[in-house]
Every structure is written in structure tokens, then in C-alpha cells.
Structure 1
Amino acid sequence: MWPSRNRAETVTCLACGDRITRSTAREYDKHGDRWNREDKAFEYLCKSCHGDLCHHPRDELEALLVELEAGDVDREAFLAGYLQTVEERYGTLEEES
């Protein structure tokens, strides 16, 4: 039997943890390729958290996070290593005014 079309599927925003209806959520693909849908399981963001994201390209980000053992080392060590590596590879981080 097919699921009912009027059933409101809920998803969890990966940033804030709020439960929202799937129809109001924004799809998030950590690889930045939401158009290639084959064999993918998407995560979701609420509109507010999606609007707060930086929408610049994320080329090489996933590989960098894996290389720096994100989630496996303590926060301070990760952030220090991340900043050092990004500055070495891409130059000094400067905040836009």
C-alpha cells in the first residue's frame, strides 16, 4: 500500500534540532551536489538555519574535515589545526567589513 499523500512527514533540522515538516525543510547534501539524487539520503535544515549558512562553494571541505579528524579530536585542537591548515593552503583568513 502507498503512503498517504496528506501525511505530514517530519524531519529534524541538523543545525538546531527542531522538528519541522518535510515540505518546509531545505535539503542539505554535505557534498554540495543535491541534484545527483541516486542512492542519497539527505539531511535537512529549517528555513532559519538554512538562511544562516554560508552559501559559498565547499570544494575540498569534506576531505579537509576528514584529514583533520573532525569529531575525533577535541574542539580546541581541531579548530587550531583547521585555522592553521586553511591559512597554509589558502592564505590568511580575513573578515569582510
Structure 2
Amino acid sequence: MWPSRNRDPSVICLACGGEVPRSTAREYDKYGDRWDRENKAFEYLCKPCHNELCHHPRGGLEELLVELEAGDADQAAFLTGYLTTVEERYGPLEEES
């Protein structure tokens, strides 16, 4: 039997769950350091989901999520605590027009 010509493995988009070819996916590193590849397993996003992301720096975000025990509290309680903490530390949140 001949090997498959399609050597581009599929990956699953972590946002929408869609299956996309690895070559068209965007790497996602939850620690924000995609350049350090040693001993790292990446997650992937499809292009539409990647384009919907906020691409602003997120220094300290992971530490804040751990501090607020993200994933352990129910969603409403977590979001209330998150918004309160962010406003206390960084000032009021404003939406861009």
C-alpha cells in the first residue's frame, strides 16, 4: 500500500472544536511564549477564531486566573470576581467605540 500523500495532519481548534489542517491553523500557547519550543505542546486555533481574539499583551493574565481560581468557581461568581479585581488594580473598564 502506498503512503498517503496528505502528510499535513489535522488539528482541532480549541475555540470552536473544528478540525483544520495543521498548515492553516494558528499556534496558541497559553503562556504567551510561542517562540520557546523546548518540551512544549501547542494548542491550535482556526483562522476565523484566531482573528476574533484580542491580540493585546496579556502579561500577568495567567497568574490572575490562577489567583482567582478560574475553573473552580461557577462562571457568574468568577466573572464578578474577575471584573472587580481588574477594576481595583487597573481602573474602570471602558469599551472602545
Check whether TM > 0.5.
yes
TM bin (shorter chain): over 0.9
The answer as to 2:37 corresponding to 1:22 is no
State the match for 2:67 in structure 1. Answer: 67
Secondary structure of 2:8's partner?
coil
In 2, the alpha carbon distance for the partners of 1:89 and 1:22 equals: 39
Identity of aligned residues (%): 76
C-alpha separation in 1, matches of 2:52 and 2:73:
26
Q: Deviations over 1:40-78 (max 9, x none)?
A: 100000000000000000100001011111111000000
Tell me whether 4-13 or 64-73 shows the greater mean CA deviation: 4-13
Q: Compute the TM-score of the two structures, normalised by the length of structure 2.
A: 0.93
- Cα distance in 1 for partners of 2:5, 2:67 equals 43
Distance in 2, Cα, partners of 1:71 & 1:4: 41
Note the aligned Cα RMSD (angstroms): 1.5
Matched AA of 1:15: A
Separation in structure 2 between the aligned mates of residue 11 and residue 72 of structure 1, nearest angstrom: 28
The equivalent residue for 2:34 is 34
Q: TM-score, normalised by structure 1?
A: 0.93
Cα shift at 1:30: 0.7
1:4 Cα offset (Å):
7.0
